[in-house]
Amino acid sequence: MNALGDPERLRCLSCGAQRLKCDGSHPACGRCQQERRACSYDWTVPGVFSLFPSGANLNDKISLHIGAYHANEGGFGRVYRTQTTTGELVAVKVFFENRWVYGRALELSVREAWTWQHLDHPNIIPFLGIADYMTVCPGALPQLCLVSPWMEAGNVMEYIALHPVANRLPFLLDVVNGVEYLHTFPSGPIIHGDLKGNNILVDTGGKRPVARICDFGLAQVLESTMKDGLSTTSTAFGGNARWMAPERLDPKRYGLGQLESKSTKSDVFEMMRTFLQILTGKPPFFDTSDLAAAVAAMQGLFPEYPSAYCHGLDNDRVNLMRQAWSTSREERPSLTDIRRDLEQSWFLDDFLDLPSPFLNLEPILERWISFSRVAHEKARLRPTLVIWPHTLRMLYNLWPASALHDIGIKAIRLPIRYGAWETGELKEVLAGTPSLSRLEIHASSDSGLLSLNSYHIIPVFQFARRFTPNLATLVVKGIPMSIGRLSAWSLRNLEIEIGPDVHLSSPWRFADWCEVLDNSPALERLVIEDMGEIEETWRETYSALAGGRRISTVLRGRRTKLITPPALRVLRLKTGTLYMAVTFMTLLSATDLSDMSLWIPRNGEIVSTRDSGCHVLQVVANYWPKLAVLRLLGETDALHRYSNGLLKPFSCLEVLEWNDADWLEIMLSNGFIDQVQPVPKLKTLRLRGGHPFRTRYGVEVAHLNDSVLNLIRKRASAGFPLQRVLIDQDHVDEIITMCPALLSARVELGWFKPCDSLEGFKEDLEPEWGLFSEEKRLIWPGYTQAS
C-alpha cells in the first residue's frame, strides 16, 4: 500500500511520469520491459528521484533556510529566490506548502517535472532540477519542488511597467514560438492551460530582452487538487476566468469533459487574451470585478479596449484577437496565422510610435537599416505603418533619399499629437514616400479632434496629389484642412471625418466637397462623417436641396451640373443634420450607387421650403432606386409618422441592415411582411448592435421575437424567402437572447463584421461574414439540430 491507495490501482512510477499505459501492479510491466527500465511503485517524494538523472537532484545545492526569501505567489504555488552553492540565482517553486501531499497531486507534479526536463527552447524557462521541500527547508513537510533560473527582470507585466516605451511586439512573437514548440512536441502536444502575463518571464541576459514561458501544463495540478479538496499556496486561480476560453469555464455547455476542454485551441484563445494584456498593460476586463469578468467571459463577450491608442493594437490585430476569442474552437486562427500577423510588423517596430522626440534613436535605426533588405525581400510590412512624424524625419538623416521608396512602404498612418503641425513637415513626409498607396492622417486619441483655434489648416489634398501619384486610399480624421484647387487624380477610396469642433463655414465646406468630388473620377468608395454645424443663414440653401432644386440654382456660378464620379459604388454617410445629409446625396445623385449606409440623426424628418415635409428615405429612393445594399443606422424617433411606402421603391434591394428594434416595427406597419412584393429580391437581413435592440414605444421583447419569426415565415410563404440572417459579431448573444426565434427559423444564421469605415471593406465591397457552426448553435438554449 502506498499513497495512491488500493494495490489494485497501483501504477508504475515511470509510466505514470511519462503518461504511458501501465499493465498494473506487476514486477515489470510490458512498457518498462520494452524500454529496459525497472518498474517502481514507490510513490513518495524520495522515490520519485529515481526517475531523474542524478544531476537533477539539487537537495545538496540549494537551501531555503539561509539566504532565501519569498518572492511571489503565482497561479500554482509559492516561489522562493535563493542561491545555489555555486552562486547561481534560482527560483524554487513549492506547490503545496506545509501540507501532506498524497498520491494524485504528487503524480501530477511528477509528470510536469518529467515533461519539463525534456524541453529545450529559448522561449521556455529552463528546467534545472528538483528538490525535496523537507530537505532544503528544515521543518517543512516532504513534497516535490521544481527549480529553474531566476529571472531578475520578473514577468513581462512587471518589465513593461518599468519600461513603458519598450517594444512589446517581440515579446508576442517569443510567446508564439514557445507555444508552438509546446504544441508540436514530438511525444505529443503539451497544453499550457494558464497563459497570462504573470506566467511569461523576461530574460535580459542576452542581446535583447526575451520572453520565456513558465508554468506550462501545471493547470492540471491545481485543478486536480482543487477537485480533491487539497489546498495550495495559489491565490490567483479565481482571476483566471479573465483569460480562459469559454469551453474551459463551462465544458458541459459545449459537450466537453474537463480534460477535453483543454486543447491547443484553448491555448490560442488564452494567448491572445495575454497579448491584449501585454499591449495595453491591463488585464482583460480590467474595469470589472473577477466575478463580473467571469460572467462576461462565459457569455462570450469581448474585453474592452483602452480609449487611448496602443502601439501594436491596430484594427488588423484587434480583428485577429476577436477571431481567436470565438466561442467556436474551429473558427480560431492557427499559430501560423498569428505568427504571420506579427512578422509583418517585426522589422519596423523598434522605432515606431515612440512618445518622445528627444530619444536617441540612431542606434535603433541603424540596426533596423541592416534588416531593411530582408524586410524588402520578404515583404514583411504591415498593411498600415503607424509612425510619429519626428521618427520618420530622423530616417531622412540616416538613409539615402530613395531608401523608403526602395523598401516599398505602401501605407502610413500619421497621428498628429504635438501641437501645431507645420505644412512643411507633411510635405517632407510625403516627398520621402512616393510609393505610398494608402495615407491616413488623424488626430491622435489623446489630443481629440483638432480645431482651427489651435492648429494650422493643413493642405492634405494638394500635397497628397502632388507627391504620391499612386495614392489609392486617403483617410483624414479630425484634422483641419483646406482643399483648394485640385486636378484629376486616381484616388479610389476616400474617408473624411469632420468633427463638431472644426468650425468651417458651410459654404466653404460645400465648395471644398465639390472640388474633391469633381476631380476624383476613379472614386469607388466614399465615407463621410461631417458633424460640423450649419450656419443659420445657410439652412435655407440646404433645405432647398430636399425639394430637388439644382445645385447651379442654389450656388450660382459654382457648378452647372451634378457631380458624377462614374465609378462610385459605395457611400457611407453620417452627418449631424439631415440638411447636410441631403446636400451630399444631391451632389452624388447622378451616380450609380449599389451600397448605401445612412446614419439617421435624431430628427429624421426634413422640412423643405417647397414641400410640407418628406423623409430622408424618400430622398434616397428618388436618387438610387436600384440600391442592392441599404444600411439604416441611428435614431428612428420621427419614422412612425410615415407608416407606408418607406421601402416600397427599393425593388432591387438584396441586403437590408439596421440597428434598432423599431425598424422592424416600421416594416410591420408599412406592409413589409404582408405585402412582400415591394422588396422581392431581399435575401439577407443584418442585425446591428451598438444602438441596442431594446423595448421602446411599447414594443415588448416577446412581440419583437414573434415579429422576426413572422417576417421570415410570411416572406417564405409568399414566394420571397429570406436566405440568411447575419448578426453583429460583437452582439450575437444579446440579439439571440432578444430574438430566440432566429434559432428555429428556416434561414442560414451567421455573423458579420459591421463596416462603417474603409477598414471594413474587402475587394468585392462585402463586409466580413460567416455562418455559425453547429457547435456554436448548440450552446444557445432552445436550439435543436432538427430546427
Look at residue 300 and tell me if it is in a domain: yes
Residue 566 lies in a domain: no
pLDDT exceeds cutoff 80 at 119: yes
Over residues 50-71, mean pLDDT: 78
Residue 235 burial (CB count, 10 A): 11
Residue tagged 534560482 (cell numbers):
90
**What phi and psi values does residue 631 have, to the nearest 5 degrees?**
-115, 125
In a domain, 385, yes or no: no
Domain closes at, from 300, 315, 337 = 337
* Secondary structure of 66-86 as H, E, C letters: CCCEEEEEECCEEEEEEECCC
Q: What digits encode the pLDDT tens for the residues 569-608?
A: 999 998 877 777 877 888 888 788 999 998 876 544 444 4
Phi, psi of 435, rounded to the nearest 5 degrees: -85, 0
Domain-terminating residue out of 337, 370, 403: 337
Q: 486-511 pLDDT, tens per residue?
A: 777 889 999 888 876 554 555 566 67
Least confident of 65-74, 306-315, 358-367, 724-733: 358-367
Concatenate the DSSP letters of all residues of 35-51 into one string.
TT-------SHHHHGGG
pLDDT at residue 748 in the model: 92
Cβ–Cβ under 8 Å, residues 727 and 752: yes
pLDDT above 90 covers a percentage of the chain that reads 14
* 3 state DSSP class of 155: strand
Residue 9, domain member (yes or no)? no
Q: What is the CATH number of the domain that holds 263?
A: 1.10.510.10
Pick the range with the lowest mean pLDDT from 50-59, 187-196, 218-227, 386-395: 218-227
Query: Would 95 be classed as within a structural domain?
Result: yes
Q: Could you give the CA distance from residue 263 to residue 576 in angstroms, rounded to a whole number?
A: 49
Flag whether 141 is in a domain: yes
Are 384 and 413 spatial neighbours (Cβ–Cβ below 8 Å)?
Answer: yes
* Least confident window among 44-53, 445-454, 733-742: 445-454
Q: Please, which residues bridge with residue 93 across strands?
A: 79, 146
110's CB contacts (< 8 A; 6+ apart) are 13, 16, 17, 48, 51, 144
Q: What is the extent of the structural domain holding 78?
A: 44-337
Say how far apart CA 696 and CA 704 lie, in whole Å: 11
Please, which residues have CB within 8 angstroms of residue 617's CB and are 6 or more apart in sequence?
598, 632, 642, 646, 647
Count: domains in the chain: 2
Q: Is the pLDDT of residue 683 over 70?
A: yes
User: Which position has the higher pLDDT, 718 or 36?
Assistant: 718
Residue showing cell 498607396: 437
Instruction: Report the pLDDT value the prediction gives residue 177, as an integer from 0 to 100.
Output: 93
Does pLDDT of 156 surpass 90?
Answer: yes
Following CA atoms 412, 417, 418, 420 in sequence, which dihedral angle do they give, to the nearest 10 degrees?
A: 90
Q: 668 in a domain, yes or no?
A: yes
Q: Which of 308, 337, 366 is the last residue of a domain?
A: 337
Distance CA 731, CA 737 (A): 10
- Among 107-111, 230-234, 430-434, the minimum mean pLDDT is found in 230-234
654-659 average pLDDT score: 86
- Rounded to an integer, the average pLDDT of 728-751 is 83
Asked whether residue 659 is domain-assigned, the answer is yes
| Cα dihedral sign, 694-697-703-704 | negative
